Chains A and B, each alone.
Chain A
């Protein structure tokens, strides 16, 4: 290239971060996966030929929802502390988020034990059981993955391997966590509100 031709792109050449685009695509593909399970759940509302039915056994998940939705707030607080460089605040809020995630898992275990042993609802009982456990279970498995990520970051951070400069990495994990939260909002609407009242 000779220097006589002036470049048509003299402006700064900036492209988005692979990390951010990658996480957006992970969320996109996960959304597609969840959509099919939600569609299956909606399609089979009221189609079970035998009980137990949703309105008989489901209770609104107050505790689980408070834990999960609350953790979306605490993770933002943790992020802000990391951006400001205050590692103490980061550790505190990150631990609270992690504890809320683990708490949600225990809440789910408790709910499932109740449903299986007291209400007699398993995945093979009827269509409600099949669609309920697959959708809620898929969501719970994502909470589990999220909790493992949160725990790993907590350990790495306590051993000094997470610094201020990693705030974008941390932000990506929080995006994933928010996504798991959004899915929970859909699950509540579909499972605990629509199907439990129909």
Chain B
């Protein structure tokens, strides 16, 4: 490490942070977490917030499934059901998936690029606390004043707040305002966070880490945050218009005054479709880090992976109206958006083939992160294929707003994104806590959750084919939907059991897990060059980066990567 770059003042006291050292008192921890501007703590706060809301919105999902288990279900009332599906969807996207994305990127990006912290640490804390409190603001609606028909004040117009339903005439009381204001606030947090992360990646890379040497996770984070910065504001704008309409009588979406309900859908989906890529690209990033390390091969086709990512980012701006084929677009619109939707599957396909090519001929180690990645590949492939089916407009005219769509996007978000997030936990938990997650509990988690996932969402494709519409609170017997719904409900409880094993594993391993060491997976990116957990200042010394795998160069001076790049 003779010519490594020293990045801290000589006067700073160097105390290696080791697991078990200085556990402190509970009030001390809380104070520490509230005051902190450290990217690692904020990253963990983000991920912890995501987990909390995951459990909350998961319980809502269980209630929804319980209601639909049998025909003429009586678990919830129609109004409660509408509120449950609305808040379930909104929370899962904005307070589970988004905090997970921001948490993963917050924790990993400065470590991977060899930085001390984010570019704007205090802005980072600001972004987190906006997200945190706005989530509770939305949940508060359940106990707040009455909405329609004397039910709770929770929003009930669907997670994309379909336009005429959100007008004061149909949504009395403050219900929709909880939706629009809480999402507006977390949107501000996301945009400031996105700017912060982009600036960090562009401006704070350690010496030698040129753009084409960044780990793929960092590349994907960069493109993701570009999408956040550009495509969250349309949603904020639409929500400002909605709020102006509800409080000051603006006519944007008021058909009586000449306003257009379709325009709301355009504005929502201009945000809504890139949002899918905002969520899935970091999961791609996790897969792109885990698959090479557990196949013992460098990633196949790094430049193509980067190009495909950027291509996805661009095309994602032009596909939104495939959510709207049934509202009556003109034939040019339908053709354009159908073709763009099919086109975006090309770069995604390139990625899947590159991951397969990375695994091909590698020495595959079936550790937990890799197991989740392999399941991701299967499930995301199916999700992509049903996506192509729905992208074909005539097919979509038949199945839009049916359970087929529900099955499709839960395959993307649960089978794809969530598996990427699980792989993230199993792969980087040892770095954050200095201890390994237990493998036996992890396998229980994997199998229960995977079986539950397929039991829940595979039958929903068939229910959709049989004409079951989404958002119905109950159904009559005799339409052939009973069996599929019952299997689906049973599966949901399997998933819940899997999540219980996961949470137990997270808590138990933090105290009793096997000590991990700095580099338990024999990996190649910079975050494994520091201690586990990393000290506040991240790195004592940093090697100069000369290739895409700086740690490989360090471990194998006789055969470094940079000779071949």
Measuring CB to CB, which residues of chain A are less than 8 angstroms from any residue of chain B? 1-3, 5, 7-9, 13, 15-18, 21-22, 25-26, 28-30, 32-33, 35-37, 40, 43-44, 47-50, 123-124, 126-127, 129-131, 133-134, 138
Contacts and interface: CB of A to CB of B under 8 A. Distances in A.
Nearest to A47: B258
22 contacts: A1-B543, A1-B544, A9-B207, A9-B208, A9-B210, A13-B208, A18-B203, A18-B204, A26-B195, A28-B229, A28-B230, A29-B229, A32-B230, A32-B231, A32-B233, A33-B236, A40-B237, A47-B258, A47-B259, A47-B260, A48-B258, A127-B258
Nearest to B234: A36
B237 A29 contact: no
**List of 4 A-B pairs having minimum Cβ-Cβ separation, nearest first:** A124-B249, A36-B237, A130-B250, A33-B233
Nearest to A13: B207
Interface string B1-12: 111100000000
Contacts of A131: 252
Contacts of A5: 546, 557, 560, 562
Nearest to A25: B195
B186 to A, nearest CB: 15
B504 interface: no
A49 B258 contact: yes
A47 to B, nearest CB: 5
A22 B553 CA distance: 33
B229 A123 contact: no
Contacts of B240: 134, 138
A18 B119 contact: yes
Contacts of A33: 233-234, 236-237
A145 to B, nearest CB: 14
A131 B249 CA distance: 12
Contacts of A1: 1-4, 543-544, 553-554, 557
B208 A124 contact: no
Nearest to A124: B249
A37 B315 CA distance: 23
Nearest to A9: B208
B236 to A, nearest CB: 6
B240 to A, nearest CB: 7
Given A15-B203, A29-B230, 5 more contacts: A9-B208, A44-B259, A127-B258, A130-B250, A133-B250
Contacts of A134: 240-241, 244, 250
Contacts of A25: 194-195, 198-199, 229
Nearest to B560: A5
Given A1-B4, A29-B229, A123 B191 contact: no
B202 A7 contact: no
B319 to A, nearest CB: 17
B224 to A, nearest CB: 14
A78 to B, nearest CB: 26
A159 to B, nearest CB: 24
B252 A130 contact: yes
Contact of A3 (B3, B238, B249, B554): B3
Contacts of A138: 240
Most A CB within 10 A of own CB, among B196, B207, B259 = B259
A115 to B, nearest CB: 15
A185 to B, nearest CB: 20
B257 interface: yes
Contacts of B203: 15-18, 21
Given A1-B544, A32-B234, A124 B119 contact: no
Contacts of B259: 44, 47, 127, 130
B169 interface: no
B329 interface: no
B543 A40 contact: no
A133 B244 CA distance: 10
A35 B546 CA distance: 42
A28 B231 CA distance: 11
B223 to A, nearest CB: 14
Contacts of B208: 7-9, 13
B248 A123 contact: yes
Contacts of A18: 119-120, 199-200, 203-204
Nearest to A37: B237
B195 A36 contact: no
B251 interface: yes
B267 interface: yes
B75 interface: no
Contact of A43 (B4, B120, B205, B263): B263
Nearest to B544: A7
A43 B199 contact: no
B199 A130 contact: no
Contacts of B257: 48-50, 126-127
Contacts of A43: 260, 263
Contacts of A123: 244, 248-250
A22 to B, nearest CB: 5
From B199, B234, B554, name the one whose CB has the most chain A CB atoms within 10 angstroms: B199
A15 B204 CA distance: 7
Contacts of A133: 250
Contact of A21 (B198, B241, B250, B560): B198
